[in-house]
Structure 1
Amino acid sequence: MRLSTVILPIHRWAEGQKIWRRAEDLGFHAAYTYDHLSWRSFRDGPWFGAIPTLTAAATVTKSMRLGTLVTSPNFRHPVTLAKELISLDDISGGRVTLGIGAGGTGFDATALGQEPWTPRERADRFAEFVPLLDRLLTEDSVSYEGDFYAAHEARNIPGCVQRPRLPFAVAATGPRGLRLAARHGQAWVTTGDPRLFENGTPEQSVQALRDQSERLADACAELGRNADDLDRVLLTGFTPDRGRPLQSLDAFVDFAGRHAELGFTEIVVHWPIPDSDFAADEKVFEQIAMEAPAHLR
């Protein structure tokens, strides 16, 4: 079981770089950031771009993996995203993981002036976005004409440092997304069942995650792929447990242990942000970062 963190891009770099350095010092496997134009309660405050933030983080860290959790088609195009990812992978020395999902209905969905897409439209775009991005990151030149995206002799030389390309961590809960994870992912990401967040119980959440994991295994079996080949990543903070796992080392070890039994290989916690949904005692958070992995081996 690996332990990683999400550092929201809300800090000017003079302060932000200290957090990314500290994350590596604490021994986190990876540090991710959200790829949004703005997000929920943080909309009217500072919010910086994901790729520039990760590029800067790559220059102040040495071994910790870096990535998005997650990027989506809401305001991205595969051709330009591929170029940025290849550059980031090079600058970081091959430490980048792309978390990628279908996107939602938040501010990103309308920031470019478009009407928000329906769930079906998001799924349709995602189904085209991921395979095209896969090609762009593995082939020197790509031409493609689809329903939503096109590429004309898009050059991506020299390609990723990581071969055949940087890994995809595909966020999915529905059948189409899980098939994309099974076909193109090196990892699968979930936040649990959003329907349980307000009124569900931790036990119901564990069962929902078990069901999701079983559907992923079925999707892999359809493709003749061993489901154990995919890492399974749980982004915390969106299950009925909410912030309780970060209240103490024992609480976190119990939470992580229950999810390790479901096959999860990586738990991601949010870096504490005072006066927000991600508020937590920083001393307890650092104790968890330093001591919990030894309890979960």
Structure 2
Amino acid sequence: MRLSTVILPHRRWSEGGRASWQRAEELGFHTAYTYDHLSWRSFRDGPWFGAIPTLTAAAAATSRLRLGTLVTSPNFRHPVTLAKELISLDDISGGRITLGIGAGGSGFDATALLGEGEQPWTPRERADRFGEFVPLLDRLLTEDVVSHEGEHYSATEVRNIPGCVQRPRLPFAVAATGPRGMRLAARYGQAWVTTGDPKIAETGTPEQSRAAVAGQIERLGEACDRAGRDVSGMHKVLLTGFAPERPLESFDAFTDFAGRYAELGIDEIVLHWPIADSIFEADVTLFEKIATEGLAGL
């Protein structure tokens, strides 16, 4: 079992931003991720910085900590420009980057680039774009020269030399719960990401939440079987904070939570870095104790 964190890009680098990433490395987290959004929910009207520049700065400020997005989506990214940024970031970090990637939702940045009269993408349209985005990004990160003419994306003799430090490319952690996303995860993912079942996040029980994740893992296994792949070789990541459980209520609550999800097959738990006066508010002392001691008994 691995323990990682998400550090939201809401603070100026000189006013606590740098310190959080360096502290994450000191505490021994496996990976520190950040959201790849233009803004997000309750933070929409406050400070918010870009994911790629933040991760670049974090790469320069740390030496061992893995870094990544959780998650990037097609909502405002194009695979051609994203690939160039990721190759550069992987180089700057010395091969410490993981790309968390998903189909995107209907949040604030889903409509930021729409013109007057344009309608937001439907769930099916988002899935269609994601289905083209991931394979093209895979090619862009593994081939020196790529051309592609698709329904949603084009690339004409795009050069990405010298490619990633990590070979054949940096790992993808694919966020997926539906059948199309599961197929992409089985085909292209080195890891799979879930937040649980959003339909029971506020009204469900911990037992229902675990049952939902168990069902997702079962469907992931079926998708891997169809792809000719052993699901045991895929890393399974749980991003906390969006399910009925409250693992940061106490040390014992966390160890019980981690143990139960480890039994289901989850092998990386991601905790949000505490943010006062937000849904991610938590006791910092407890958070650091969990970071350093929480997995010792598993």
TM-score, normalization: structure 1?
A: 0.98
Q: Secondary structure at the match of 2:247?
A: helix
Give the Cα separation in 2 of the matches to 1:150 and 1:142: 10
Residue 215 of structure 2: aligned partner = 211
Task: Please list every run of 5 or more consecutive structure 1 residues that lacks an aligned counterpart in the other structure.
Answer: none
Residue 70 of structure 2: aligned partner = 69
Give the Cα separation in 2 of the matches to 1:151 and 1:109: 23
User: Percent same amino acid at aligned positions?
Assistant: 76
Residue 268 of structure 2: aligned partner = 266
Moved over 2 A (4+): none
User: What is the correspondence of 1:151-170 to structure 2 with a 5 Å cutoff?
Assistant: 151-170=155-174
Give the Cα separation in 2 of the matches to 1:25 and 1:160: 26
Matching residue's letter, 1:237: G
Residue 222 of structure 1: aligned partner = 226
Aligned-pair CA distance for 1:115:
2.5
Indicate the RMSD between aligned Cα atoms, in angstroms.
Answer: 0.6
Give the Cα separation in 2 of the matches to 1:76 and 1:234: 24
Q: 2:199 aligns with which of 187, 195, 199?
A: 195
User: What is the correspondence of 1:245-284 to structure 2 with a 5 Å cutoff?
Assistant: 245-284=247-286
Residue 32 of structure 1: aligned partner = 33
Aligned-pair CA distance for 1:295:
1.8
Instruction: Tell me, yes or no, if structure 1 residue 141 matches structure 2 residue 148.
Output: no
Task: Please list every run of 5 or more consecutive structure 2 residues that lacks an aligned counterpart in the other structure.
Answer: none
Aligned-pair CA distance for 1:293:
2.2
Contact in 2 for aligned 1:109/1:115 (Cα 8 Å): no
Q: Secondary structure at the match of 2:182?
A: helix
Give the Cα separation in 2 of the matches to 1:254 and 1:36: 32
Residue 287 of structure 1: aligned partner = 289
Aligned-pair CA distance for 1:250:
1.1
Q: Secondary structure at the match of 1:293?
A: coil
Residue 124 of structure 1: aligned partner = 128
Give the Cα separation in 1 of the matches to 2:104 and 2:40: 12
Contact in 2 for aligned 1:141/1:155 (Cα 8 Å): yes
Matching residue's letter, 2:262: A
Give the Cα separation in 1 of the matches to 2:210 and 2:65: 29
Q: Secondary structure at the match of 1:295?
A: coil
Give the Cα separation in 1 of the matches to 2:192 and 2:4: 15
Aligned-pair CA distance for 1:171:
0.1
Q: Secondary structure at the match of 2:282?
A: coil
Residue 102 of structure 1: aligned partner = 103
Aligned-pair CA distance for 1:102:
0.2
Contact in 2 for aligned 1:189/1:233 (Cα 8 Å): yes
Residue 3 of structure 2: aligned partner = 3
Residue 235 of structure 1: aligned partner = 239
Q: Deviations over 1:167-194 (max 9, x none)?
A: 0000000000000000000000000000
Q: Secondary structure at the match of 2:193?
A: strand
Q: Secondary structure at the match of 1:189?
A: strand
TM-score, normalization: structure 2?
A: 0.98
Residue 92 of structure 1: aligned partner = 93
Residue 174 of structure 1: aligned partner = 178
Matching residue's letter, 2:120: P
Give the Cα separation in 2 of the matches to 1:256 and 1:214: 19
Aligned-pair CA distance for 1:27:
0.3
Matching residue's letter, 2:295: P
Residue 53 of structure 1: aligned partner = 54
Give the Cα separation in 2 of the matches to 1:11 and 1:116: 29
Matching residue's letter, 1:137: L
Matching residue's letter, 1:255: F
Q: Deviations over 1:37-75 (max 9, x none)?
A: 000000000000000000000001011100000000000
Q: Secondary structure at the match of 1:294?
A: coil
Residue 20 of structure 1: aligned partner = 21
